[in-house]
Structure 1
Amino acid sequence: MSADRTLADLLAIMARLRDPENGCPWDLEQTFRTILRYTLEEAYEVAEAIDHDDMDALREELGDLLFQVVFHARLAEERGQFDFDDVVVTIRDKMIRRHPHVFTDSGPATEAEIRDNWERIKAAERAHKPAPGAGLLDGIARALPALVRAEKLQKRASGVGFDWDQIDGVFDKVTEELDEYRASLAESVPASERTHEVGDLLFACVNLARHMGVDAEQALRAANHRFEQRFAHIEAGLRQQGRRPDRTERAEMERLWQEAKTNQDRADDP
């Protein structure tokens, strides 16, 4: 089946849903802002399908996410601002521009050169469309997950040399922030200040992950998954004993936790 044909069908369905005379009342009420939550939800559902290596779910969730793109483009088209073809042309041109090692005669490039070129080209793009009073960190979406945005802020600042030269400095910063939080617990300080100190500690941990070449968001997602699996093991073990977590001593739950951890470690071994 032709990709052009199936995409044209999807665009036609979207136009029908938004038809003022015969469209869907719910779809007709929507705006960029009202469907934003669904766009974000679909993106996270794509991530969940990938985490579970569920290709059937991934196919479906990618379709749902594509529909969100089509929906936003239709709203813009109705306003006379841009349409879906404009979206496609924009990303097509951007990908060609950001991959000179593929689409020009510049020749092959190393992974480091590709990464450096990508950031350099992005910086040049930003320089061509500055907003009044725009700063280096402007344009990094505030709606991003906090860990992702922290990493992007740090990378942007690192691009102009505002970064630690050695990873030891990052370790020291994490220790410093942890000590400051411990001090805040020992003192009578407002809850807002403790929140501030935790934020600084998390930001420093993201910086450490970045210097170690680890994606902080993916690392935490994986840690969440491990916690869920281990706690499920605790619950299953207690059910076999006819017991519940809220009526079980911490020591027994810790024993089952360590058992789950050992089982996971064995499963991870090649």
Structure 2
Amino acid sequence: MKSNKNNTFSYLNDKKTNELDKLLKIMSHLRDPDKGCPWDIKQTFESIAPYTIEEAYEVSQSIQDKDYDELMDELGDLLLQVVFLSQIAKEKKLFKFNDVVKSINKKLIRRHPHIFEKNTNIKSPNDVKNQWDKIKEQENKNKSKKKNTNTLGKITKNLPSILKSQKIQEEVSKDGFDFKNVNDCILKLQEEIQEFKEALKTNDKQKCLDEGGDILFASINILRKAGINSQEALEFANNKFTRRYNYSEILAQKENKNFSEVSLEKKHKYWLKSKKIKL
């Protein structure tokens, strides 16, 4: 006779049970107050949230690396976060995983009327995006009426700072609060740089932080106005710098030198060589 434990987990080897249902049952067992995992039982919405953000970044990294085996694995980790949070919500009688799926299904149908309602006026990807934004904006307005929030109140507070700046700039632009062109944005950046220089003379750290933040905000706004994603641009710059720095270290090693110990002038020469080969 099989033990009760084996009977409890018999679904794991049941070919008729689809993999998503198995995952939901596994999470339910892990969170079982009596027979579950002590670590999983202890977790809360708040404790899981940082892992969710981390897993999203790891998905992004695997895409950038074009490592699709890793992408499959990381997508599983990200899905786990959705299932984990849904299980906690179920225990609190807030909602279930199926409610999450139902909600996104309704949203996709609602925001694609050109597909599900046969709206033939939509012909290009740009048309689709504009329609999506209008529908989303109306949905947010309806939410704002219920919550009595302002234009920027709907922006998620915990977004990474670069993305948050982009969102703020995009939202106020919809209300007509925007520069006319990229050149005007550049002039604003030059103005902010001058104010930062003046702040440096005061040795006031808070003033420098304030003006330094304005420089970053203005820089992001230039890229937004030019149709460039600031996060992608900065990540590209980070990767380019890393490649060139790594190659500069290799050049020093080829001369039996330690890059950290050579003069700044020599470092600069290595750096220029790395730039010439367009790393």
TM-score higher than 0.5 here? Answer: yes
**Number of the residue aligned with 1:125:** 139
Name the CA distance, whole Å, in 1 between partners of 2:28 and 2:71.
25
Q: 2:220 aligns with which of 206, 210, 215?
A: 206
Q: 2:153 aligns with which of 138, 153, 162?
A: 138
How many angstroms does 1:3 deviate by? 11
Does the 8 Å contact 2:55/2:77 carry over to 1?
A: yes
Does the 8 Å contact 2:56/2:78 carry over to 1?
A: yes
Q: Please give the per-residue CA displacement for 1:170-195, whole angstroms capped at 9, x wherever unaligned.
A: 1111111111112222x224111111
Name the CA distance, whole Å, in 1 between partners of 2:259 and 2:17.
55
**Number of the residue aligned with 1:170:** 185
The change in CA–CA distance for 1:176 and 1:85 in structure 2 (over 3 A counts) is same
Letter in 2 for 1:116: N
Q: 2:229 aligns with which of 204, 212, 215?
A: 215
**Number of the residue aligned with 1:190:** 204
**Number of the residue aligned with 1:35:** 48
Q: After alignment, is 25-34 or 101-110 more displaced? A: 101-110
Could you state the TM-score of these two structures normalised by the residue count of structure 1? Answer: 0.93
SS in 2 for 1:242: coil
How many angstroms does 1:246 deviate by? 2.5
How many angstroms does 1:258 deviate by? 1.7
**Number of the residue aligned with 2:9:** none
**Number of the residue aligned with 1:116:** 130
SS in 2 for 1:138: helix
How many angstroms does 1:4 deviate by? 7.8
Q: After alignment, is 241-250 or 46-55 more displaced? A: 241-250
How many angstroms does 1:255 deviate by? 1.5
Q: Please give the per-residue CA displacement for 1:197-253, whole angstroms capped at 9, x wherever unaligned.
A: 111011011111011110001110111111111111112222222322321111211
Q: After alignment, is 79-88 or 95-104 more displaced? A: 95-104
Structure 2 stretches lacking a partner, 5+ long: 1-14
Greater gyration radius: 2
Does the 8 Å contact 2:185/2:221 carry over to 1?
A: yes
Could you state the TM-score of these two structures normalised by the residue count of structure 2? Answer: 0.90
Name the CA distance, whole Å, in 2 between partners of 1:207 and 1:3.
53
1:150 aligns with 2:150: no
Name the CA distance, whole Å, in 1 between partners of 2:103 and 2:181.
38
Name the CA distance, whole Å, in 1 between partners of 2:222 and 2:35.
55
Letter in 2 for 1:54: D
Q: Please give the per-residue CA displacement for 1:68-91, whole angstroms capped at 9, x wherever unaligned.
A: 010000000000000111111111
Runs (4+) of structure 1 exceeding 4 A deviation are none
The change in CA–CA distance for 1:250 and 1:4 in structure 2 (over 3 A counts) is farther
Letter in 2 for 1:190: D
**Number of the residue aligned with 1:268:** none
Name the CA distance, whole Å, in 2 between partners of 1:4 and 1:99.
32
Name the CA distance, whole Å, in 2 between partners of 1:254 and 1:99.
54
1:96 aligns with 2:96: no
Identity fraction in percent? 36
Q: Please give the per-residue CA displacement for 1:140-173, whole angstroms capped at 9, x wherever unaligned.
A: 1121111111001111111111111222211111
How many angstroms does 1:51 deviate by? 1.2
Q: After alignment, is 208-217 or 2-11 more displaced? A: 2-11
Name the CA distance, whole Å, in 2 between partners of 1:101 and 1:264.
45
Name the CA distance, whole Å, in 2 between partners of 1:180 and 1:123.
35
Q: Please give the per-residue CA displacement for 1:28-55, whole angstroms capped at 9, x wherever unaligned.
A: 0000111111111111111111111111
CA RMSD of aligned residues (A): 1.8
SS in 1 for 2:143: coil
Q: After alignment, is 112-121 or 155-164 more displaced? A: 112-121
Q: 2:38 aligns with which of 25, 35, 42?
A: 25
Does the 8 Å contact 2:253/2:259 carry over to 1?
A: no
Q: After alignment, is 202-211 or 167-176 more displaced? A: 167-176
Name the CA distance, whole Å, in 2 between partners of 1:3 and 1:179.
68
**Number of the residue aligned with 2:5:** none
Aligned residues: 264
Letter in 2 for 1:255: K
